[in-house]
Structure 1
Amino acid sequence: MLSWKLPRLLHITQVPKVFHEESIITGYRQPWSTAADCVISLFQMSNETLNIWTHFLPTWYFLWKLLASLWVLDVWSDSYTWPLVVFLVSCCIYPFTSSCAHTFSVMSTKARHICFFFDYGALSLYSLGSAIAYSAYSFPDTWLPSVFHDWYVPIAVVNTVISTGLSCYSR
């Protein structure tokens, strides 16, 4: 019979300082885990379980919404739908990247940093997708012929790059 041996969860005193999370005392997964251990740990209650699942499940919902939109809308010839597609793609990328980052962040200290670099970048990309959709669909009519509207998305791109860079640098 197939049985899984779930990895033992650790106390904050049992993990290196780089793996510590503020206000989390117990429930740490074993540092330097293998990829298989990381995936198996998804099925036990650790300090990351809810964070991972609350990002992973919405990924599939937004992917379903994206595919349904591509099926129903004439995306290729109607440029009015492009901001929606950009937004939905960012809605798929961000939670998936975040769930992967939190799942595999205990593989090593280097993997932890790389995972969260991707997490920060995906969050910034989601912010950019939101800005693009907002610019296309929600700007008040009186603001459309303005310098503010003309520069809104380019400034959002710069914000995405700078915020990702600063977030990564802070680690």
Structure 2
Amino acid sequence: MLSLKLPRPLSIDQIPQVFHEQGILFGYRPPQSSAAACLLSLFQMTNETLNIWTHLLPFWFFTWRFVTLYVTDVQNDSYSWPLLVYMGTSCVYPFASSCAHTFSSMSKNARHICYFLDYGAVNLFSLGSAIAYSAYTFPDKLVCTTFHDYYVALAVLNTIVSTGLSCYSRFLEIQKPRLCKILRILAFAYPYTWDSFPIFYRLFLFPGESAQNEASMYHQKHMAMTLLASFLYSAHLPERLAPGRFDYIGHSHQLFHVCVILATHMQMEAILLDKTLRKEWLLASSRPLSLVQITGAMILCIIFSLSNILYFSAALYRIPEPELHKKET
């Protein structure tokens, strides 16, 4: 008879330092778990369980919205193609994140590679957001400007650099944890800032007549939730104040996941509203992205981001174990 019994979760002093999480003392899965054990751990309470489910369930919700939209709206409408890309990437990143958290306990190198792929998916979503913003949310005064013309191209470059920087930061995780955290936050903050510049301009400077609509409220909520998510990710609250009290429920990474998903939901609603309410003005006043531009941007992002991931994954096996994992004295 097949036994579904899983190993008892471990404490922080029973696992290698590379698996440690600040303020989390108990609930760690064994660091050499099999793929089957990792999958079964979705139904066992560990300190990763809610990290997985807080992105796995939204993945199915976003997928349902994507499929529904594709069937009813996108197939033969070139104006909707940027939305198709955005909705697709909004499904990719929560799925990649849930997979990364699921299989990160298979080995030290598997943990790093899982998160390399997670970072690549987040940056792919960043590009999807930039494409949707370019098509539907730009304030009137920035439409058809030089900034608008190069906005997506530079967003592609940002995703490539960001993936490389975030992957590199993992090599500093043990030796220089503060620098690691700074580089990783920077790796995601600057593409977000670039992508969101048209929204900042629209909300705080000159939105223009066509951009003064109900979507602005959702853009504001999206920004607020993103800022809260960034704070939780960087501050490690509340577990830093009470180590061991939030090991299973309520630690910062779970709250970060919830805020990120809520931010994406608000962003999605804002983009959908802008797409509908500004359609007539945008079709008359802007130069829509062509299929070649959209496809080219996505392919370049995928090729170079995967190249980064492959390079840093190979580096894990080239660098001697002590250099990668030994803490500085």
1:3-14 superposed matches below 5 A:
4-14=4-14
Aligned to 1:45: 45
Which secondary structure does the structure 2 equivalent of 1:73 belong to? Answer: helix
Q: Tell me which amino acid in the other structure corresponds to 1:100.
A: C
The CA distance in 1 between the partners of 2:146 and 2:114, in whole Å, is: 38
Assess if the C-alpha contact under 8 Å between 1:7 and 1:30 holds in 2: yes
Aligned to 1:36: 36
Deviations 1:7-46 (A, max 9, x none): 2101100000111112211110111100110011111111
Assess if the C-alpha contact under 8 Å between 1:7 and 1:41 holds in 2: no
Assess if the C-alpha contact under 8 Å between 2:26 and 2:47 holds in 1: yes
Structure 1: 5+ residue stretches without partners? none
Q: Tell me which amino acid in the other structure corresponds to 2:34.
A: T
| Residue 83 (structure 2) pairs with residue 91 (structure 1) | no
Deviations 1:117-160 (A, max 9, x none): 00000111111111111111100122112111111111111110
Q: Tell me which amino acid in the other structure corresponds to 1:127.
A: S
CA-CA distance at 1:4 after TM superposition: 2.4
The CA distance in 1 between the partners of 2:110 and 2:65, in whole Å, is: 31
Which secondary structure does the structure 1 equivalent of 2:27 belong to? Answer: strand
Q: Which moved more, 1:139-148 or 1:30-39?
A: 139-148
1:102-117 superposed matches below 5 A:
102-117=101-116
Q: Tell me which amino acid in the other structure corresponds to 1:37.
A: A
The CA distance in 2 between the partners of 1:7 and 1:40, in whole Å, is: 11
Q: Tell me which amino acid in the other structure corresponds to 1:19.
A: F
Which secondary structure does the structure 1 equivalent of 2:123 belong to? Answer: helix
Aligned to 1:56: 56
Q: Tell me which amino acid in the other structure corresponds to 1:147.
A: T
Q: Tell me which amino acid in the other structure corresponds to 1:58.
A: P
Alignment coverage as a number of residue pairs: 170
CA-CA distance at 1:6 after TM superposition: 2.6
Aligned to 1:100: 99
The CA distance in 1 between the partners of 2:7 and 2:48, in whole Å, is: 14
Q: Which runs of 4+ in 1 moved over 3 A?
A: none
Q: Tell me which amino acid in the other structure corresponds to 2:151.
A: Y
The normalised TM-score by structure 2 is 0.50
C-alpha change, 1:93 and 1:74, in structure 2 (3 Å) is closer
Aligned to 1:168: 167
Aligned to 2:72: 72
Which secondary structure does the structure 1 equivalent of 2:97 belong to? Answer: helix
Q: Tell me which amino acid in the other structure corresponds to 1:78.
A: D
CA-CA distance at 1:74 after TM superposition: 4.0
C-alpha change, 1:134 and 1:74, in structure 2 (3 Å) is closer
Which secondary structure does the structure 1 equivalent of 2:120 belong to? Answer: helix
Assess if the C-alpha contact under 8 Å between 2:62 and 2:90 holds in 1: yes
The CA distance in 2 between the partners of 1:24 and 1:71, in whole Å, is: 44
Aligned to 1:159: 158
Q: Which moved more, 1:139-148 or 1:87-96?
A: 139-148
Q: Which moved more, 1:151-160 or 1:3-12?
A: 3-12
Identity %: 63
1:120-135 superposed matches below 5 A:
120-135=119-134
Higher Cα Rg, which structure: 2
Q: Which has the higher contact order (CA 8 A, sep 6+)?
A: 2
The normalised TM-score by structure 1 is 0.95
